[in-house]
């Protein structure tokens, strides 16, 4: 079983020796959920780190902030940062490396294997607890989830509480790490795209109705974009001032800038936003599910990305985020490509 | 006036209110509550907290100010501009939490004063707010008491309902509230002395049940903040912020907006001038046309949010622009907790 103690010892040592700038990990939260991200700079604060099935966040996202911070500072501290990753999160780091957004020595990866578990889904947990508030979720000795509430402990089989993406997970342990806790248990997932296939089976009209209703709920808070480690563009097409404006840009140039998308949260604009994002993540999304989890209106955004992950797999035999040396999907082609236009 | 409405008569009351569009909380398949238009037979007040406050029903995320059309004649161009004012049917929002109603009373102040906002007031004057007192905190992050509100606050409301088991204690607070009761006079009874006693008791009990609180008075926080503009605290507290707009867009009192022209056609030039919500957490918030942004990073954006609510607003209106609804705490994807941030402000330098 994954023991965070080994990783804590390593983190403490690295901080003490000044080999890393800080550690991004998980700590207890005060907002009703059990874990939240924490940034640790002092060895004595390492004690605050926790690891349990409520550590849902993909912390690799904060590597994007660290890169920006370094770019802004005149004399940046270039030491690596330590980051706790699950299997899925490690695949995001692989993509960041593959795209040369970060370099391998920018990061010290503290990997944790989910083994036969994963992280819990907030709604599924709430559904099981019928109004009671969870205080703690642990993995029991038989691999089951043990949930503590004010009324005591209750046990649930993992499948009943796991996030949907964990049920379709293809990396139960980190694919890249500097130190790893837990076993490299290979899991067999019978239907890695099962949830998308279910949706593909819907009649066209029903599918349209479903997505229209979902996308209409969007208030464009951009939590899905903001939480995503792959959404690191300097300028996003949806921001009202997009493309670099400098002191030399003339008024005419500014006025002539194409506005691809309006700020209004209306059907057509919301669709453009979500489709643009989905396309930009094709062959890049590693299904950490953070977009879906963060959405305050529960739009199942993950499906859009999962669909394109499936397309990449079926059309090009492309698996995202396993090998940093692999060229990215959209910047590579094969001589034996069946299509003419590419040659 | 004070009345009693049997719970089983709630739907009959709503049925009589056919001159108004009725909004009430509805639960979706994920267990989330949000306001929607309801028919009398599906009205119920057994809800917790709506993810979105009632704010968008009065101050919508998108509002058309005017329509324009430029046509080229032989010798000259003509520009037609048509003002668009909200023209919806009057509305009743049923089941407004006292914190959310208080937030609307803040919006009332913001959209009044030197610049009276006709768009805001066109809707506001036609909207009647029927509140529901919270007898137990609807979720774990309520802190209305320390935000100078209360679970039975009447601010901003036209009617306050208090659940007394099989009946609601109905207190009307404005003429609009009276009117709503008078639409179905026969359904409302005079309260017995024990009803009045019970209301007082449950209100007092409700206050005892609120667990979370900001320590320190608003004046102290505001004064502390004044000297903290350049504090390293903002960097530290914003480390885990992902720069999404949840805390702000779901806040019942946040009201920043942006105005844009949405062009439908270039020739002839036709389009609309629209107001949309803006969000201090977004990278283009206060971006100057030179490309310079005085708030270039997430630390300065978090600081802006805290300063606006607990310093600038206090200076102008003598109120903190926070009613303790807890949405920004419960719904933050990374667990940033405004109460903790304010405690660190209070402890700063001491």
Give per-residue pLDDT as tens, A261-301.
Answer: 888 999 999 999 999 999 999 999 999 999 999 999 999 99
With beta carbons less than 8 A apart as the criterion, state whether A146 and A53 touch.
no
Amino acid B77: pLDDT? 86
Q: Which residue has the higher pLDDT, A253 or B269?
A: B269
User: Which residues of chain B does A126 touch, with a Cβ-Cβ cutoff of 8 Å?
Assistant: 31
Q: What is the dihedral of CA B289, B292, B297, B302, to 10 degrees?
A: -60
Handedness of CA A30, A34, A39, A40 (dihedral sign): positive
Confidence of residue A240 (pLDDT cuts 50, 70, 90): low
Chain A neighbours among B 185-224 (CB < 8 Å)? none
Provide the percentage of residues in chain A whose pLDDT is more than 70.
Answer: 96
Q: How far is CA A208 from the centre of its chain?
A: 27
Q: Please name the residue of chain B whose CA is at the shortest distance from the CA of residue A298.
A: B30
Note whether A75 contacts B: Cβ–Cβ < 8 A: no
Disruptive mutation site among B334, B343, B344 for chain A (greatest number of A CBs within 10 Å): B334
The pLDDT mean for chain A works out to: 92
pLDDT tens for residues A138-167? 999 988 999 999 999 999 999 999 999 999
Chain A neighbours among B 314-333 (CB < 8 Å)? 329-333
Q: In 3D, which of B188, B184, B183, B177 has the Cα closest to residue B154? A: B177
Strands A145-149 and A152-156: antiparallel
Disruptive mutation site among A222, A233, A253 for chain B (greatest number of B CBs within 10 Å): A222
With beta carbons less than 8 A apart as the criterion, state whether B91 and B20 touch.
yes
CB contact under 8 A, B335 and A37: yes
Does the pLDDT value for residue B350 go beyond 70? no
Does the pLDDT value for residue B265 go beyond 60? yes
Provide the percentage of residues in chain B whose pLDDT is more than 70.
Answer: 100
Q: Per-residue pLDDT averaged across B119-142, rounded?
A: 96
Question: CA B112, B116, B120 angle in degrees (round to 5)?
Answer: 85
Does the pLDDT value for residue A244 go beyond 80? no
Q: Which tokens belong to A91?
A: 């695949």
CB contact under 8 A, A262 and B52: no
Does the pLDDT value for residue B30 go beyond 90? no
Distance separating alpha carbons of residues A92 and B147, to the nearest angstrom: 41
pTM: 0.94
Confidence of residue A227 (pLDDT cuts 50, 70, 90): very high
Distance separating alpha carbons of residues A300 and A298, to the nearest angstrom: 6
Does the pLDDT value for residue B299 go beyond 90? yes
Q: Is A86 exposed, middle or buried (0-12, 13-18, 19+ CB in 10 A)?
A: buried
CB contact under 8 A, B242 and A223: yes
Distance separating alpha carbons of residues A138 and A53, to the nearest angstrom: 6
Q: Per-residue pLDDT averaged across A62-77, rounded?
A: 94
Query: Residue B106 — left, alpha, or beta (φ > 0 → left; ψ -120 to 50 → alpha)?
Result: alpha
Q: In 3D, which of B347, B337, B350, B316 has the Cα closest to residue B143? A: B337
The residues, ordered by sequence, that sit 6+ positions from B268 with a Cβ below 8 Å of its Cβ are B69, B70, B71, B72
Amino acid A343: pLDDT? 63
User: Which residues of chain B does A227 touch, with a Cβ-Cβ cutoff of 8 Å?
Assistant: 242, 244, 333-334
With beta carbons less than 8 A apart as the criterion, state whether B101 and B153 touch.
yes
Distance separating alpha carbons of residues A104 and A134, to the nearest angstrom: 38
Amino acid A241: pLDDT? 63
Q: Per-residue pLDDT averaged across B137-142, rounded?
A: 94
Confidence of residue A243 (pLDDT cuts 50, 70, 90): low
Q: Which tokens belong to A283?
A: 């062959």
The pLDDT mean for chain B works out to: 95
Q: Per-residue pLDDT averaged across B108-124, rounded?
A: 96
Distance separating alpha carbons of residues A324 and B274, to the nearest angstrom: 46
- b/e map of A196-225 (b: 16 or more CB within 10 Å)? beebeeeeeeeeeeebeebbebbbbbbbbb
Among the partner-chain residues B249, B289, B334, the one whose CB lies closest to the CB of A37 is B334
Amino acid B216: pLDDT? 81
Element (H, E) at B132: strand B127-132
For residue A39, list its beta bridge partners: A24
Q: Is B315 exposed, middle or buried (0-12, 13-18, 19+ CB in 10 A)?
A: exposed
CB contact under 8 A, B337 and A126: no
Q: Please name the residue of chain B whose CA is at the shortest distance from the CA of residue A131.
A: B139
Handedness of CA A231, A237, A238, A239 (dihedral sign): positive
Strands B167-172 and B2-6: antiparallel
With beta carbons less than 8 A apart as the criterion, state whether A35 and A16 touch.
no
Q: How many CB pairs below 8 Å do chains A and B form together? A: 129
Amino acid A338: pLDDT? 76
pLDDT tens for residues B55-110? 999 999 999 999 999 988 888 889 999 999 998 899 999 999 999 999 999 999 99
């Amino acid at each position: 079983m994954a023991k965070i103690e080994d990783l804590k010892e390593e983190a403490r040592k690295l901080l003490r020796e000044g080999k890393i700038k800080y550690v991004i990990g998980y700590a207890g939260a005060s907002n009703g959920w059990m874990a939240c991200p924490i940034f640790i700079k002092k060895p004595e604060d390492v004690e605050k780190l926790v690891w349990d099935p409520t550590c849902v966040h993909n912390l690799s996202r904060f590597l994007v902030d660290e890169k920006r911070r370094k770019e802004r500072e005149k004399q940046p501290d270039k030491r690596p940062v330590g980051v706790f990753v699950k299997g899925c999160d490690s695949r995001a780091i692989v993509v960041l490396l593959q795209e040369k957004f970060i370099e391998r020595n920018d990061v010290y990866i503290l990997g944790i294997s989910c083994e036969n578990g994963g992280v819990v889904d907030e709604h599924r947990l709430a559904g099981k607890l019928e109004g009671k508030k969870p205080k703690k979720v642990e993995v029991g000795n038989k691999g089951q989830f043990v949930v503590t509430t004010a009324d005591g402990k209750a046990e649930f089989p993992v499948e009943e509480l796991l996030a949907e993406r964990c049920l379709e997970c293809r990396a139960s342990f980190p694919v890249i790490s500097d130190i790893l806790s837990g076993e490299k248990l290979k899991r067999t997932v019978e239907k890695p795209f099962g949830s998308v296939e279910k949706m593909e089976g819907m009649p066209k009209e029903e599918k349209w109705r479903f997505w229209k209703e979902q996308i209409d709920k969007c208030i464009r808070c951009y939590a899905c974009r903001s939480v995503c480690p792959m959404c690191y563009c300097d300028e996003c097409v949806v921001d009202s001032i997009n493309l670099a404006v400098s002191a030399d840009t003339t008024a005419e140039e500014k006025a002539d800038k194409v506005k691809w998308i309006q700020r209004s949260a209306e059907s057509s604009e919301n669709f453009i936003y979500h489709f643009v994002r989905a396309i930009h993540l094709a062959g890049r999304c590693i299904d950490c599910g953070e977009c879906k989890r963060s959405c305050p209106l529960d739009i199942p955004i993950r499906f859009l990305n999962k669909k394109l992950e499936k397309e990449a797999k079926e059309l090009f035999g492309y698996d995202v985020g396993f090998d940093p040396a692999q060229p990215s999907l959209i910047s590579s082609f094969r001589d034996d490509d069946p299509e003419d236009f590419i040659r | 006036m004070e009345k009693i409405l049997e719970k089983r008569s709630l739907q009959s009351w709503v049925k009589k209110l056919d001159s108004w569009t009725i909004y009430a909380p509805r639960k979706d398949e994920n267990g989330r509550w949000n306001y929607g238009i309801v028919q009398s037979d599906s009205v119920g007040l057994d809800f917790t907290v709506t993810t979105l406050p009632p704010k968008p029903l009065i101050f919508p995320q998108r509002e058309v100010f005017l329509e324009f059309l430029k046509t080229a004649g032989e010798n000259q161009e003509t520009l037609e501009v048509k003002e668009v004012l909200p023209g919806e049917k009057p509305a009743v929002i049923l089941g407004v939490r006292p914190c959310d109603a208080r937030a609307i009373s803040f919006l009332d102040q913001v959209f009044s004063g030197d610049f009276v906002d006709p768009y805001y007031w066109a809707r506001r004057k036609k909207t009647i707010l029927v509140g529901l007192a919270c007898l137990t905190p609807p979720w774990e992050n309520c802190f209305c008491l320390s935000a100078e509100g209360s679970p039975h606050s009447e601010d901003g409301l036209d009617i306050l309902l208090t659940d007394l088991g099989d009946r609601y204690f109905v207190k009307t607070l404005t003429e609009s509230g009276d009117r709503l009761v008078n639409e179905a006079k026969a359904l409302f009874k005079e309260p017995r002395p024990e009803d009045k006693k019970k209301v007082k008791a449950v209100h007092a009990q409700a206050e005892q049940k609120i667990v979370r609180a900001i320590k320190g008075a608003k004046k102290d926080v505001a004064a502390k903040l004044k000297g903290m503009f350049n504090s390293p605290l903002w960097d530290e507290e914003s480390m885990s912020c992902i720069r999404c707009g949840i805390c702000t867009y779901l806040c019942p009192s946040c009201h920043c907006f942006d105005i844009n022209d949405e062009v439908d056609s270039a020739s002839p030039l036709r389009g609309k001038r629209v107001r949309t919500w803006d969000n201090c957490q977004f990278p283009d918030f206060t971006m100057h046309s030179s490309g310079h942004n005085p708030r270039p990073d997430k630390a300065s954006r978090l600081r802006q949010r805290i300063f606006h609510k607990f310093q600038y607003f206090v200076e102008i209106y003598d109120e903190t622009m926070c009613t303790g609804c807890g949405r920004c705490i419960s719904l933050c994807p990374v667990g940033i907790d405004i109460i903790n941030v304010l405690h660190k402000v209070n402890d700063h330098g001491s």
